[in-house]
Amino acid sequence: MAIVGAFAVPHPPLIIPAVGGGRERGIQATIDAYEEVGRRVAALAPDTVVVSSPHTTLYRDYFLISPGTSARGSFAQYGAPQAAYEARYDTELVAELCRVCEREGIEAGTDYERDPRLDHGTMIPMHFIQKYYTGFELVRIGLSGFSPAEHYRLGMAVQEAARTLGRRVVYIASGDLSHKLTHDGPYGFAPEGPVFDERIAHDFATGDLLDILCMDHSLAERAAECGLRSFQMMAGALDRTDVRAELLSHEGPFGVGYGVACFTPVGEEAASEERALLARYEAWRAADLADRKASEDPYVRLARASLESYVRDGKRIAPPKGLPDELLSTRAGCFVSLKVDGQLRGCIGTIEPTQRTLAEEICANAISAGTRDPRFNAVRASELGDLVYDVDVLTEPEVTTEDGLDPARYGVIVSCRDGRRGLLLPDLDGVDSVAEQLRIAAQKGHIDLDFDDYRLQRFEVVRHL
């Protein structure tokens, strides 16, 4: 059996005594569970430990597999340089993993590493494993901006590479849960935080790894988690494997969720179609996209029709008959946003109307969102079926101050007299404070909030889904 065990673990730096200085006693349940992880890994005696970490080098469109023969790291940035760790890399398994990824069309490899030092998402599980067992080599993998399916496929590649080489591998999915569990925590509170944590804790306890793949991206983003993609990769490493799942601990006394779970393969090494989760996830995703498309309102259907006609046929459509009167009789600025698997794929809009009607404004901005957003390549015809659309219709902007802003209700425009201007829509995933909203809007307009003379405007939107 290639994957002899898998564990989901958190990575709070204060759990290291040299960093915590006694504060670590506040998460004693997590420490006790981590000690159990160390003992279980030692009992499994793996040749290699594979760690996926959110805190090693991360790219939107590439999985970095750490190169080289070894790496070192310490907790110097947390005031404890004496807490230092070193690992030997399993270069043979890394090479085989890269070959599998190339063959399967997974964008992964050992190029572009920015920082070779071990990150805390890797060192913390190493700390507890090495207390009980040192006879292993390491493979370290970063996350990406790819879909849940791609993270799962990379986990499958780990499984295949390990099986090809006859390696006994333990998989460690490093990642915290929500960072927004309490009002007095370092990251504040969001209602989605406890919801996310309870759902993941349930999935860990029951072994429902499909639910981890199907997790709503907006819920995860608003909960400010950092482990979901790591857990999705772990699920792929357990593809077609019957497991016994155990939730060893779950707590969040400091406002951040820490979950420790164990997944033990059971039975003979034979393909379990019930655990072939990729096909089941793709079927769920297709049904979800179909449901979303069926429930689109006229604003969104118009945006979709406009972009699809332009991408497929190079033609701009005229607003069709039968649209609601407000689309044909009013003018307004609007933004069209495109997403794939919860990730932004394009967003372009107008603050003030530039077309004769709102319908024409939506048509024009949908085409621009799909073909002219400088952050992305133009949408291809093969992607059209995967797109989810939002249409935000803006009210007329009004001058305001910081005290008049609320990122949940109002969008903001930051502008200077020389023409620089940055805009951010309201009620965005992960934007919870006025300070964060202003920072992002100013950055988009190349405006320095500390030195530039700027003015603020706010607006509301009607969001169409």
The per-residue pLDDT for range 369-420, each reduced to its tens digit, is 999 999 999 999 999 999 999 999 999 999 999 999 999 999 999 999 999 9
Write down the H helix ranges in 238-357.
Answer: 277-294, 298-313, 325-329
Find the mean pLDDT for residues 220-228.
Answer: 96
Report the 10 Å Cβ neighbour count for 96.
20
**Whether CATH 3.30.700.20 fits 296-392:** yes
Query: Coil, strand, or helix at residue 255?
Result: coil
Percent of the chain surpassing pLDDT 70:
99
| Protein fold of 395-465 | Dna Ligase; domain 1 (3.30.1490)
Interval 171-198: pLDDT, tens: 999 999 999 999 999 999 999 999 999 9
| Protein fold of 3-278 | Protocatechuate 4,5-dioxygenase; Chain B (3.40.830)
- Residue ranges of the chain assigned to CATH 3.40.830.10: 3-278
Structure tokens at 146: 């790819």
| pTM for the structure as a whole | 0.92
Which pLDDT score is estimated for 321? 87
Find the mean pLDDT for residues 435-457.
Answer: 94
Q: Which amino acid is at 55?
A: H
Which pLDDT score is estimated for 432? 86
Of 35-39, 157-161, 185-189, 366-370, the range with the lowest mean pLDDT is 185-189
- Residue ranges of the chain assigned to CATH 3.30.1490.150: 395-465
CB distance 15 to 254 below 8 Å: no
- Rounded to whole angstroms, what are the CA distances from 426 to 335, 353, 389, 412? 12, 19, 16, 8
